[in-house]
């Protein structure tokens, strides 16, 4: 695939980064032949790498992912201590 983007999201805690990875990994791409993403944890940071056939598909996928990542981060901030 012609276009690639890597995003690093710090969570401040290895366990929180792992929770986020597990929660966000279940959201599969709607067009896997045009966009793929890989989620890994590096210390307390969630690392997400996207590959896409076009900039438009990359932008759409990243935008959608960031909405879910924001929700995951807010949820962990609110309820993280009790998890």
How confident is the model over 3-36, as pLDDT tens digits?
999 999 999 999 999 999 999 999 888 888 999 9
CA distance 81 to 83: 6
Model pTM?
Answer: 0.89
Residue 29 is given by DSSP the state -
Question: Look-up: residue for tokens 């759409």?
Answer: 60
45-82 pLDDT tens trace: 999 999 999 999 999 999 999 999 999 999 998 887 65
């Amino acid at each position: 695939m012609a276009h690639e983007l890597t995003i690093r999201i710090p969570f401040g805690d290895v366990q929180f980064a792992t929770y986020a990875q597990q929660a966000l990994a279940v959201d599969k791409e709607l067009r896997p032949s045009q966009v793929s993403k890989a989620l890994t944890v590096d210390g307390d940071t969630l690392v997400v790498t996207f590959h896409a056939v076009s900039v438009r598909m990359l932008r759409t996928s990243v935008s959608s992912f960031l909405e879910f990542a924001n929700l995951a981060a807010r949820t962990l901030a609110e309820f993280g201590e009790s998890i």
